């Protein structure tokens, strides 16, 4: 299954958030004593441009397309470090490689809808869904600390084909 991501990150506010994430990532690396050149900078820049929800293999391929001379192992090491530092979050979807999401300083929370045919993934927010989760927490003996929602279906492009 081919996979690609589409994000809610096309609006100017989201672009600004991704830029802030990149600056925060660089400063966090520096504060922790890590250099920010080479592969780390290339990965940070690409993630900020793409908006996240992207696989390691896609990052590696995209960097090659852009002519960035970054080794595959270096891409994976950079992703592992950024995840360890809390700058990225791994998103595991069934029957798909792990994808990486930006952890924005503002705590933006979103979910995903995945096309079962082509793998297209779209991030979305939904206040009613968030309220439903809180309602469920209130009605049960559980206090929900975190949640991830992934909806599965077929995108318009695949329905047309």
pLDDT for the residue 114: 83
Residue 29 has pLDDT above 70, yes or no: yes
Percent of the chain with pLDDT over 90: 42
Q: Do 113 and 122 contact (CB within 8 A), yes or no?
A: yes
pTM above 0.85, yes or no: no
Q: Whole-angstrom Cα distance, residue 14 to residue 79?
A: 21
What phi, psi does 142 have (nearest 5°)? -110, 145
Residue 91 has pLDDT above 60, yes or no: yes
Residue 93 has pLDDT above 80, yes or no: no
When the pLDDT of each residue in the chain is averaged and rounded to a whole number, the result is 84
* Domain boundaries of the chain, sorted by first residue: 5-160
CATH of domain 5-160: 1.10.10.10
pLDDT digits (tens, 9 = 90+) for 108-156: 677 888 888 888 877 777 889 888 988 998 999 888 877 778 888 999 9
For every residue of 102-113, which 3-state class applies, written as one string? ECCCCCCCCEEE
The CB density around residue 155, as the number of other CB atoms within 10 Å, is: 19
């Amino acid at each position: 299954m081919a996979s690609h991501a589409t994000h809610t990150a096309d609006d100017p506010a989201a672009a600004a958030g991704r830029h802030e994430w990149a600056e925060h990532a660089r400063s966090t690396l520096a504060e922790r004593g890590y250099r920010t050149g080479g592969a780390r900078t290339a990965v940070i820049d690409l993630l900020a441009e793409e908006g996240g929800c992207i696989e390691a293999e896609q990052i590696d391929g995209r960097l090659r397309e852009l002519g960035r001379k970054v080794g595959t192992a270096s891409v994976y090491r950079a992703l592992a470090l950024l995840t360890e530092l809390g700058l990225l979050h791994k998103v595991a979807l069934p029957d798909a490689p792990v994808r990486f999401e930006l952890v924005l300083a503002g705590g933006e929370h979103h979910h995903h809808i995945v096309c079962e045919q082509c793998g297209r993934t779209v991030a979305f927010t939904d206040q009613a869904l968030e309220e439903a989760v809180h309602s469920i927490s209130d009605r049960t003996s559980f206090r929900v600390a975190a949640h991830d929602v992934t909806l599965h279906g077929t995108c318009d492009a695949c329905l047309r084909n």
